[in-house]
Amino acid sequence: MIAGIIANPASGKDIRRLVAHATVFDNLEKVNLIRRILLGLQAAGVQRVWVMPDYFNFYEQALDFFIGENQLTMETKLVPMKWNACQEDSQFAAAKMAELGVRCLITLGGDGTNRVVAKGAGDVPIMPVSTGTNNVFSVMLEGTLAGLAAGLVATGVVEREYSLLRTKKLIIHLNGKAVDIALIDAVVLEDQFIGSRAIWDMGKVRQIVATRGEPFHIGIAAIVGALHPIDMRAAEGINLIVAASGEQMLDQNQGSIIQVKAAVAPGLIRSIPVRSHELMSPGQKVTVRHRPCVIALDGEREIIVGPDDCCEIELAQTGPYVVDYKRTLKRAAEKGYFINR
Q: What is the dihedral of CA 156, 161, 164, 165, to 10 degrees?
A: 170
Same domain, 244 and 211: yes
**Residues linked to residue 315 through DSSP beta bridges, in sequence order:** 170
Distance CA 267, CA 329 (A): 34
Q: pTM of whole model > 0.85?
A: yes
* H or E element in which residue 323 lies: strand 321-323
| pLDDT of res. 184 | 97
| Of residues 235 and 21, more confidently modeled | 235
Total domains in the fold of the chain: 2
Same domain as 155, residue 177: no
Helix-strand-coil percent breakdown of the chain, rounded to 5?
25, 30, 40
pLDDT tier, 131 (very low <50, low <70, confident <90, very high otherwise): confident
Residue 195 shares a structural domain with residue 224 = yes
Q: Are residues 45 and 174 in the same domain?
A: no
Q: Are 189 and 204 in contact (CB under 8 A)?
A: yes
Say whether both 215 and 141 belong to one domain.
Answer: no
Q: Quick check: is 328 in a domain?
A: yes
**To the nearest whole number, what is the mean pLDDT of the chain?**
91
Mean pLDDT to the nearest integer, 300-320: 96
Domain assignment present for residue 178? The answer is yes
The answer to whether residue 181 is domain-embedded is yes
Identify the weakest region by mean pLDDT among 25-29, 233-237, 276-280. 25-29
pLDDT: is 150 or 131 the higher one?
150
Residue 235's pLDDT is what?
A: 97
Q: Are residues 30 and 144 in the same domain?
A: yes
Q: Tell me, what CATH number does 216's domain have?
A: 2.60.200
| 46 and 157, same domain (yes or no) | yes
Q: Encode 100-128: b = buried (16+ Cβ within 10 Å), e = exposed.
A: eebbbbbbbbbbbbbbbbbbbbeebbbbb
What contacts 195, CB < 8 A, 6 or more positions away?
301
CATH of the domain at 103: 3.40.50
Claim to verify: residue 48 and residue 77 sit in the same structural domain? yes
| pLDDT tens track for 132-164 | 665 899 999 999 999 999 999 999 999 999 999
What digits encode the pLDDT tens for the residues 62-111? Answer: 999 998 888 999 999 999 999 998 889 999 999 999 999 999 999 999 89
The answer to whether residue 33 sits within a structural domain is yes
Domain co-membership, 264 together with 163: no
Residue 186 shares a structural domain with residue 146 = no
Higher pLDDT, 199 or 163: 163
Determine, yes or no, domain membership for 340: no
Q: Whats the size of the chain, residue-wise?
A: 341
The verdict on residue 86 lying in a domain is: yes
Least reliable range by pLDDT among 86-95, 115-124, 127-136: 127-136
For 17-44, how does the pLDDT look when each residue is reduced to its tens digit (9 = 90+)? Answer: 444 555 667 899 999 999 999 999 999 9
Instruction: Verify that 175 and 300 share a domain, yes or no.
Output: yes
- pLDDT at residue number 278: 97
Asked if 2 contacts 102 with a C-beta cutoff of 8 angstroms, the reply is: yes
Residue 339 lies in a domain: no
How many helices and strands (H and E) does the chain possess?
Answer: 9, 18
In this prediction, residue 250 carries a pLDDT of: 47
Query: Which pLDDT value is given to residue 16?
Result: 47
Assess whether 310 and 325 both reside in one domain.
Answer: no
Domain encompassing residue 158: 2-167+320-334
Q: Is residue 213, in this structure, part of any structural domain at all?
A: yes
